[in-house]
Chain A
């Protein structure tokens, strides 16, 4: 009898311990490989970033499972976003968003999943941009360029990406603020945009500081304005566009992480925790500096607010730009 009572007691004790353990930790831990969805093919901006982050997460020992980058390219970001929507509630899938994830559903009927349908995790950084001209160009600052554009409307040319991209939207805002007009020519790859500027076939482009940096050092390019709120630490002598008297909204180019729709609270907490620690890690700091990004860490309600405000801003700017806004 004694034995029996004791074994019952042990069983009860173990059970309570187990259930206590379960009740105490709502914690989610990935039990298999994490899929990180990007909307570009191998070699695209998001792809390179996601792969670099996967590597750094492993190096800093911040995740217990491997993070596998999955390329879902096509339709701007539509294919990647609808893939995430299909993965509703899957805790082992995340996606790397950029500004396209906000604008694409606004302009594309087929892109039915919006960033609001997904679960925000963190915004990691902002990509600053500058306006560059050829080094031997007569335009030394924004004033020179704007005056030339006024003198001969539509004769100056800018190379850039798709018309819904940040470079074109910034052009439209600047044109409106200054009452000028110049031509915008779309090129699918950054390489073509830059080579057309270096070849003198276009007069200016909006470029990321890291990409421009080496061309400046080699004496091929000159930067005439920073499209940022504050001067860039790497280019302290380049005044911002606002300093040059052109008051325009700076459209942010943000990158970060989202989860599929209906992610549970503990899953969100888990990823927030991982990226909290990641954003403070030495590897990430070094990466941000090397690529001349701006830190822009944001999570929780402020991140949702950021998405909401960006959506409103983009809808307005796109409408003004004459783009077809479908939702």
Chain B
């Protein structure tokens, strides 16, 4: 009953007209920065923070958190329509989302992404409300060996990203792992593979690389087949632009999978939404009855990662609000904001300022409803972009990509990186290497290497530390099982073949 009373208190805060208004402003702005590649929620919140000084503090955090989770709704839009990942956590959404758009189901993909975001957002808030303190304590049990095991689990998802050839997928993944090593080594301070370029000291920018590999490569490939009269089929009539009941039924498990993985991974200070989205995509494919169709445009392939990156936003608030520990850039700015407003963020925050915590939680229920109401009607509108002829659409994709990538770090160098990765992506497409495997290596490489080296430092070089600890041991065992899956399938296939031959 305690939580219920507190939640009532929260709603009494969140539903005041002024808080409702700022919640709407926040989620609206979040949607916009999510849609635009480049300008992310972290930069937006940082810019707006000074404006909140004169506001009521609860109102301020309601508005800023709205931008944070609202951006996760918008991130899928350009992924699905233009193959441009709007945020790094929407990279996975490109895989099936863009294929759905090409099949004329852009509306369904956009719609399911909004619904998945809503379901996951709501489950995430429930989690934040009910289990935040114990979950935060559990997350503290994650030391480097556990992170290593988690990253390995992410990495074996490559078996689900492979197309025809596992060898090609592994090669692409290892190139991705190599690219992740570029930059300054945290442990020795030495620079690796920078070729004397100061701009490479910070590594290859992830957004620049992914936009290149997905969007630019897509443009290049399509330039060749200019003769094709129609790029996208687009259903006529509004009703066909939204997901069908069957779509929603197909995504039941994806909603749940995305929500849970997203929320738990979000609560870990050292993981992040991109990892969560890859994990949930992999799990979705692993349990699917038609795994071979993933990557060609299945609706669950959009629902799972989109759910995961939304639940991650709620998860990321767990260590921030219960321990005062920020998990990423955006939560670090929110932490800075709390200090600026005169709070003392830490383990006692919820106890001493219940109105702040519960007001925020309640506002997130409201915000998720608002986002669904905002985003669903926008679906048919956004889908109209695909009616543009190719000679308008391609320059548009190029323009959005260049502006977006430039604006991340205000760096022209990153635009060149994007171009280079565009060429790489084009070659990979021609030679049938899966781009997603390379991206996976890039996403996880850094954390994987770091966690491994930290673990070995902890154990004075004894590699047993990776398997003897319970959590990491279990995670690694699951990873080993996943690796065996394709083998099992192959054996089954051989058996069926043999039986048929005998028959």
The interface of chain A, by Cβ under 8 A from chain B, is 41-44, 47-48, 51-52, 54-55, 58, 69-76, 78-79, 82, 107-112, 154-155, 157, 162-164, 183-192, 194-196, 198-199, 201, 210-211, 213-215, 217-218, 220, 290-291, 323-324
Contact = CB atoms under 8 A, between A and B. Distances in A.
A218 B346 contact: yes
Interface of B: 42-43, 45-46, 49-50, 53, 139-144, 183-184, 186-191, 194, 196-203, 269-270, 319, 323-333, 336, 339-340, 342, 344-349, 409-410, 450, 454, 457-458, 460
A43 B198 contact: no
A47 B329 CA distance: 11
B144 A201 contact: yes
Given A48-B336, A76-B184, A324 B189 contact: yes
B457 A185 contact: yes
Contacts of A189: 269-270, 326-328
B346 A201 contact: no
Given A43-B46, A110-B201, 20 more contacts: A42-B329, A43-B333, A48-B332, A48-B336, A74-B203, A79-B199, A110-B191, A111-B201, A183-B457, A186-B450, A187-B454, A191-B332, A194-B325, A195-B139, A195-B323, A196-B143, A199-B142, A214-B346, A217-B344, A290-B339
B341 to A, nearest CB: 10
A220 B328 CA distance: 22
B410 A72 contact: yes
Contact of B199 (A44, A75, A76, A185): A75
Contacts of A323: 188-189
A155 B461 CA distance: 12
A227 to B, nearest CB: 21
B196 to A, nearest CB: 6
Given A44-B332, A164-B189, A214-B345, A78 B270 contact: no
Given A47-B46, A70-B410, A290-B339, A110 B198 contact: yes
A185 B144 contact: yes
- Which of A42, A69, A185 has the most CB atoms of chain B within a 10 A radius of its CB? A42
B201 A76 contact: yes
B313 to A, nearest CB: 15
B148 to A, nearest CB: 13
Contacts of A213: 344, 346
25 contacts: A41-B42, A43-B46, A43-B329, A48-B332, A48-B333, A55-B50, A55-B53, A76-B201, A78-B198, A79-B199, A79-B201, A108-B184, A157-B457, A183-B457, A183-B458, A191-B332, A196-B144, A201-B144, A201-B458, A210-B339, A213-B346, A215-B346, A217-B344, A218-B347, A323-B188
A244 to B, nearest CB: 27
A109 to B, nearest CB: 7
B336 to A, nearest CB: 4
B94 to A, nearest CB: 24
Given A44-B332, A74-B201, A108-B189, A195 B325 contact: yes
Contact of A54 (B50, B336, B347): B50
Contacts of B328: 43, 189
Q: Which of B319, B349, B409 has the most CB of A within 10 A?
A: B409
Given A54-B50, A109-B196, A72 B458 contact: no
A107 B46 CA distance: 31
Contacts of B410: 70-72
Contact of A109 (B191, B347, B457): B191
Nearest to A196: B143
Given A70-B410, A214-B345, A324 B190 contact: yes
A291 B339 CA distance: 8
